Structure formats: C-alpha cells, structure tokens
Amino acid sequence: MDINEGKPEIHAGLEGIYFTESSVCKVDGQQGRLYYRGYPIETLANSSNFTEVAYLLLYGKLPTGQELDAFDAQMREERSLPGEVIAEIGRTAARAHPMDTMRTAISMLSAYDAEAYNDSPDANMRKSIRLISKSASIAATIGRYRSGKLYVAPDASLSHAENFLYMLSGEKPDKVDARILDVMFTVHAEHSSNASTFGVLVAGSTLADLYSSVTAGMAVLKGPLHGGADEAALRMMREIGSADNTERYIDDALAGKKKIMGFGHRVYKTYDPRARIVRSYLESLLSSPYEEQRNLAQIALSAEKLMIDRLGKAKGIWPNIDFFAGPVYVSLGIPAEVFTPIFAAARMAGWCAHMLEYWKSNKLLRPLEYYSGQLDLDYVPVEKR
C-alpha cells in the first residue's frame, strides 16, 4: 500500500488553524488592528494603564473605580516574593539565561502558594493576580542580581511600572520613564493564540494547575522566533554599529538567507499596530542627549526603511513589536537580558486570561501528526545488526 495514500492536508506550524473560540483578543492581521476585549490597543496605550488592562483581560470588562482600586491594592500586596525564590534567583542569575531563571522562579512559586492546587475559578483568579504581580518582581530581581547588586524589596506606594524600575535600579523612578514602561507592559500584555499562549493552553488543557501551565508558557516564550526577538534585534543593531552601515548589513544578511529579528509575523501581513506605538517612543530618542540612544534610534529607523523597501510590500514582512522595543528599554536603563523577562511579566496577564477562559469549557489539546515512516519492519536482535 502506498503510505501516502489518503494523506491529509498538513497545516505546518498549525498555520491557519482555528482550535477554539475566545473573547480575550482579536488580532486583525490584514488591517493591522489589535483589540483586547474589544478595545483598540491604541486607546488602551493612550488612556489606560497596565493594571487596568490586566483587570480587563482577566474579568472581560473595564473595572469601576472601586473595582480598580481593590484590584490595584491586591496587585500591590502580591508583589513580594518568598525568600527561597529570591535566594534561588540569586543562586542562578549570574550563570543561567534570565528566562531560565525566571521560568524556575515562576515554577517555584507554586510551592509557596497554599492555593496552588485549588482549581476553583475564584482561586484561579487570585493565583492569576499573584502571578501577574510577582512575575514583574521576579523579572526586576533577575536584572538586579545580574548587575551584581543587592535585592530591593517592592514598594507598595509605587505603581506597577514604577515599582519594577525601582526594584531594578534601587532608585525612585522618573514618572515619564515609568509611563513609557507601563505602555510597554500594556502592548505586550496579550496577543491571542501566539505560541506561548498556546503552550499555556496545551499544558492547562490536561488539567495541570495554573503554575504548571504558565511555566510551560515561559519555556515557549524564550525562543528568538517569539519573545527572544527583542533582545536579538538590539544585538543586531549593536552589530550594525552606525546608520551608514545598515544597508550593507541588511543586504548581506538577506543575501545569506538570514532572518532579521523583529520583522515578520505569522498573523500580521501589514504593520504591527504595537510596533507603531513603540516606534513613537523610539522617534523621540533621535533628539536624546545620549549618543548611544540617538545612534540606536537612527539604526532602527534606517533598518526599518530598508526592510520595508526590500520585503515589506513584496513579501508582507513588516516590523513587529520586538524591533523597536530594545532601544526604548535601553533609554529606560533596562539591560538587554531583562527584555524577554519583561515580555513574560506582561504576557502573564494574557496567559492567565486565556487559561481561565479555556477551562470554562476545557478540551484536551491533542492534534494529529501524519505518520510518514515505515511499517511492519522486521526486528533484528542487536547482536545480528
């Protein structure tokens, strides 16, 4: 029998496959639009803040003033980390990849949560708030330890983004910097069934608990084709060195069939709306008093123009959010190795929102693979092979 007889259509990378319904997020890849729970990302970036957006994602509606105050208070209360988790970050931060340290720290949190294995919707909501709040503290602590400095305890008087910068630098942050970081958290908070959210859902669909599920998401997010792209894009900009060198670098890379990190997207076939928001902060760096920031902004904008000329309209490869994020983080004093942990801390809101929604009508995620190997082979004992 021909093994290929009746071969089904294979959707490599599950491209174009719908596996569930969701009301968390809409990505319109043709028009370049993004909505969280129906609200355009531009409106949320301009008018809301990460804490309110986290509420919106988890509860499916904007909070009243009272609800927001209560949620904000819970988020502030949950910032502290168990001593053992801080110690573990300290033990591994200098030698492990920051995403490995963060994945381990997130996983460890379950051991210090009395509700870890309580899977009631209310307990899962409380755990989600804990995870969103504590993951930012973990990311900041990793950055802190990697720069060889001592742990800084969270400060409940500060906003989510202010507290992150405080735990990272040890200094009370500038309000403008904190606002920019808050927008970065907001635009990274959610993005439909991207690879890491799907990873969370695959784990959770087995009825593994929330900590296990988001730990799976941490593993998926790490790769340079997903969350690791912002750090890789910054590394490339540093390699390019100056805007004059951009054309040669990009053309050599494309001729060598290399991918340019921070460009292209499985769903967006036009400009990523989040990239537009982040780009507006990058433009302001052109007049920064710091040469490194001006230089990075010039390189980013020249690379963007070239890539759009070379691949934008022709192949539908446009800048994504990760391309402009690096120089903006650098301007906030955030080291490159903390970029993906920040992404994880922000995306924790989307992961939890999706998981809570999926569990309402859970179905084990288990796709098929088409077997193209041989069958009924004769087993030859090892001594005769």
Ligand X SMILES: CC(C)(COP(=O)(O)OP(=O)(O)OC[C@H]1O[C@@H](n2cnc3c(N)ncnc32)[C@H](O)[C@@H]1OP(=O)(O)O)[C@@H](O)C(=O)NCCC(=O)NCCS
**Catalytic annotation, residues:** 226, 265, 322
Judge whether 222 and 103 are in contact, CB under 8 Å: yes
By CB under 6 A, name the one of 166, 263, 281, 318 that touches ligand X: 263
By DSSP bridging, strand 25-28 and strand 33-36 are: antiparallel
Binding positions for ligand X, 297-336, rule CB under 6 A: 315, 317, 320, 322
- What 3-state DSSP class applies to 319? strand
Q: CA 199 to CA 220: how far, in whole Å?
A: 6
Closer CB to ligand X, 97 or 259, in the complex: 259
Handedness of CA 281, 283, 288, 293 (dihedral sign): positive
The CA-atom distances, in angstroms, between 173 and each of 61, 81, 327 are 30, 21, 18
Closer CB to ligand X, 256 or 373, in the complex: 256
Closer CB to ligand X, 167 or 342, in the complex: 342
User: Sheet of 33-36: strands edge to edge?
Assistant: 25-28, 33-36, 39-40
Find the part of the chain contacting ligand X (CB under 6 A) among 154-162, 203-211, 255-263, 345-353.
255-263
* Residue 190 lies near ligand X (rule: CB under 6 A): no
The least CB distance from residue 263 to ligand X, in Å, is: 4
* Residue 265 lies near ligand X (rule: CB under 6 A): yes
The pattern of x and - marking residues 5 through 24 that bind ligand X according to CB under 6 A reads: --------x-----------
Judge whether 209 and 67 are in contact, CB under 8 Å: no
Strand-pairing partners, residue 132, are: none
The CA-atom distances, in angstroms, between 373 and each of 11, 49, 234 are 18, 52, 42
How does DSSP classify residue 308? I
Closer CB to ligand X, 33 or 266, in the complex: 266
Closer CB to ligand X, 111 or 225, in the complex: 225
By CB under 6 A, name the one of 131, 158, 229, 352 that touches ligand X: 229
Closer CB to ligand X, 17 or 380, in the complex: 17
Closest alpha carbon to 225 in 187, 276, 266:
266
How does DSSP classify residue 36? E
Find the part of the chain contacting ligand X (CB under 6 A) among 47-55, 221-229, 286-294, 356-364.
221-229
Q: CA 198 to CA 204: how far, in whole Å?
A: 10
Please give the backbone phi and psi of residue 75, each rounded to the nearest 5 degrees, phi first.
Answer: -60, -45
Find the part of the chain contacting ligand X (CB under 6 A) among 99-107, 169-177, 222-230, 336-344.
222-230
By CB under 6 A, name the one of 259, 269, 294, 305 that touches ligand X: 259
* Residue 225 lies near ligand X (rule: CB under 6 A): yes
Judge whether 343 and 119 are in contact, CB under 8 Å: no
Total chain residues near ligand X (CB under 6 A): 16
Find the part of the chain contacting ligand X (CB under 6 A) among 103-111, 254-262, 352-360, 365-373.
254-262
Where on the chain is the footprint of ligand X (CB under 6 A)? 13, 225-226, 229, 259-266, 315, 317, 320, 322
